[in-house]
């Protein structure tokens, strides 16, 4: 089913007008740089500092779980390597496919923002994370299940990071620091 979905996207949704936009969206997820920068900006005002810390921690947890552990443990080859006729629209990534690191890191940070910021910031963060995940399918570099697992894993990483930050700050509050 994964292969059928990707071929349908390639043969019916892809078009020359949309492709540059989708490539731009996927670049926003490269190396999680956008999410790191947003988290760093949140470190400056005291009222958003915990959110910035949680965002960076969520990205680190996602990097460890998804890119270092799961990708190498599962070792799933990229779809364009096994699906006859699937043409990737960007340079071929060199790492494994499962889970989508772009999607996982985007949802890790976006979930932290969604849960801790006003909806006017949190919802757009989730929408952007979703668009980044979808861009990976459109471009032919991930299977739908890679992206779906990236969403779930990313949200889990965001939750872990929020729990860790809460535990540290609660402990500091009790200690009077």
* DSSP per-residue letters across the chain: -HHHHHHHIIIII--TTTHHHHHHHHHTTGGGHHHHHHHHHHHSSGGGHHHHHHHHHHHHHHIIIIIIIIHHHH-PPPHHHHSTT---SSPPPSS--SS-HHHHHHHHHHHHHHHHS-HHHHHHHHHHHHHHHHHHHHTTSS-HHHHHHHHHHHHHHHHHHHHHHHHHHHHHHHHT-
Which of the residues are catalytic? 102, 142
């Amino acid at each position: 089913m994964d292969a059928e979905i990707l071929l349908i996207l390639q043969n019916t949704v892809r078009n020359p007008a949309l492709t540059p936009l989708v490539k731009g969206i996927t670049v926003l997820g490269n190396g999680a740089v956008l999410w790191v920068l947003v988290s760093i900006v949140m470190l400056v005002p005291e009222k958003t500092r915990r959110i910035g810390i949680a965002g960076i921690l969520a990205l680190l947890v996602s990097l460890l779980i998804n890119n270092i552990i799961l990708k190498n443990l599962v070792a799933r080859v990229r779809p364009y390597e096994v699906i006859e006729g699937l043409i990737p629209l960007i340079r071929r990534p060199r790492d494994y496919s499962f889970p989508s690191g772009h999607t996982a890191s985007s949802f890790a940070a976006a979930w932290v923002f969604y849960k801790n910021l006003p909806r006017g910031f949190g919802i757009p963060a989730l929408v952007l994370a979703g668009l980044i995940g979808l861009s990976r399918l459109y471009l032919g570099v991930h299977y739908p299940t890679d992206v779906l697992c990236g969403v779930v894993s990313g949200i889990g990483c965001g939750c872990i990071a929020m729990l860790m930050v809460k535990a540290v700050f609660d402990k500091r509050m009790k200690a009077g620091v």
